[in-house]
Structure 1
């Protein structure tokens, strides 16, 4: 093979640099277009409901922390109610997350508002009042919050997992969810996953709904971030930024992402509050059907669950 002359060599290097530069520019353009396209697909009503005055003095380190997870149907000036209320606890030593699901009909003391259903706290004072309510009734300090719009949740799932999330539906369901879901193993897209997690029209009512929410969280985690295509990351980042409101520090989010990418949790321990035999079904004027809790029993159950690494 003939050797290249100095001039030919310089021309070849110049062409290579131009090609590489064009590739880089093309990639950046693709990233920006996909990112901003996803960001501008955000529900404007949810965007206007963001900016929570959440009080936390947590030091952003990778140690134990609690995150309040809220699924909201906020509509602009109408704060809406928190349809889903969960607490994510991360144990830095065990390198594992745990989830506590709170029944939204739990009848509790809402600071400044009196006795009301738990999900009413969000309607009256947003994430901060919900934080105060959970801390007052259950003694749990909450470091961060993460709130998502339901429509945004479906878009995020579809972008992250275009082939769907593997789920095993526990029964046939169709009432008030806008679709029919059949029992058995299947791939669910974002809309189906959302409908499945919100179904409550069976004998288990809200308890069944909370159980399915926990199942959805477990299935998404099991699918793992490693399944997400690199090409989808720009769109996914735009959707996440636009459809999620959170005060979790960027550094902590990066650390968590790296941890879950390289050490995907094998399972997810979960607890539902109220626990069995720790509540009574009641009905009060102005509140309707509620769950009257034995707070001491439930506080003890939460404490044991969060502190016990063997569960």
Structure 2
């Protein structure tokens, strides 16, 4: 009798541990379900918010991917309700999938370029004449650059995406007072800028640096947005941001493929961005043309050599 009571008493702590373990498991499961439901709802909210605003997808034939480096043509346009637009922002994002390093090359929009099928004109006119494919072919012909994918966003959509990702603004050091022709007034100093202000900062060029200064600011904005995406305080905003990006950003990817690529990049840990601008210093001069106005005439071979070394890829 005493032996049986001892046995029963010795089993009680084990049962309590089992109950505690089961309770913790149920709590953990409920947390996972709550997070999943929240993410799906926020993703759908973002997607619905952006529905009907995307720039139309275009026919695009990317180059075959060889090796571990994948190149994306990033374009920003200001449609203003027009059927045809010029590209205000032209960047090549080069991602090394083995090292997770990212290299970002900005192309000056006033580069005097040989546009296939047309007379030579400023580089940003290629998109106006023939869309993403013609711009891709123009860069490919000039520098031998392989371009595998593209992403295109209208500036109004850019503003909305920034406000979804960072409702409290994106921290930027504004190096001088800015207001002319950007639709906002910015003062010198460190500020948290909303979408409209951040776009204005990135587009400002009414100073001695002109377009070269604007390109540097655009790269600075890309770096700041990367930090916001990875910031812990913005985790709750990411599902809605990703959903809205499906509607605001036009790419040659399917929605699932686009998300998968971003997840692959983020899952590999810390992301560093190394930046450059074409033309490089000392490789260009300004010339006036009757049909194109003032344009940047560049030494193509010198810039091609730079791109080959900077990106670490062979160029045809």
- Name the TM tier (shorter chain): 0.7 to 0.9
Residue 93 (structure 1) shift:
3.1
Residue 74 (structure 1) shift:
3.0
The 1-side partners of 2:219 and 2:306 are apart by 18
The 5 Å alignment of 1:131-280 reads 131-227=136-232, 229-248=234-253, 250-251=256-257, 253-260=259-266, 263-265=269-271, 267-280=272-285
Match of residue 47 from structure 2 = 39
Match of residue 122 from structure 2 = 117
User: Is residue 50 of structure 1 aligned with residue 50 of structure 2?
Assistant: no
The 2-side partners of 1:97 and 1:35 are apart by 27
> Match of 1:114, SS?
coil
CA separation of 1:43 and 1:201: change in aligned 2, threshold 3 A? farther
CA separation of 1:228 and 1:107: change in aligned 2, threshold 3 A? farther
The answer to whether the 8 Å contact 2:111/2:297 transfers is yes
> Match of 2:126, SS?
helix
How much is the aligned-residue C-alpha RMSD, in angstroms? 2.8
Residue 256 (structure 1) shift:
3.5
The 5 Å alignment of 1:50-89 reads 50-56=56-62, 58=64, 63-74=68-79, 78-89=83-94
The 2-side partners of 1:216 and 1:238 are apart by 21
TM-score w.r.t. the length of structure 1 is: 0.82
Match of residue 15 from structure 2 = none
The 2-side partners of 1:302 and 1:281 are apart by 21
Residue 293 (structure 1) shift:
1.1
Gaps of 5+ in 1: 1-16
The 2-side partners of 1:26 and 1:56 are apart by 37
1:203-260 Cα offsets, whole Å, 9 max, x none, are 0000000000011111122334343645434422331011101124644642432432
Alignment length (residue pairs): 286
> Match of 2:191, SS?
strand
> Rg bigger for which structure?
2
Residue 187 (structure 1) shift:
1.2
The 1-side partners of 2:35 and 2:96 are apart by 41
> Match of 2:114, SS?
strand
The 2-side partners of 1:158 and 1:277 are apart by 39
The answer to whether the 8 Å contact 1:224/1:261 transfers is no
The answer to whether the 8 Å contact 1:86/1:102 transfers is yes
The 2-side partners of 1:57 and 1:69 are apart by 15
Deviates more, 1:113-122 or 1:165-174: 165-174
CA separation of 1:257 and 1:246: change in aligned 2, threshold 3 A? same
TM-score w.r.t. the length of structure 2 is: 0.81
CA separation of 1:288 and 1:185: change in aligned 2, threshold 3 A? same
> Match of 2:105, SS?
strand
Residue 263 (structure 1) shift:
1.2
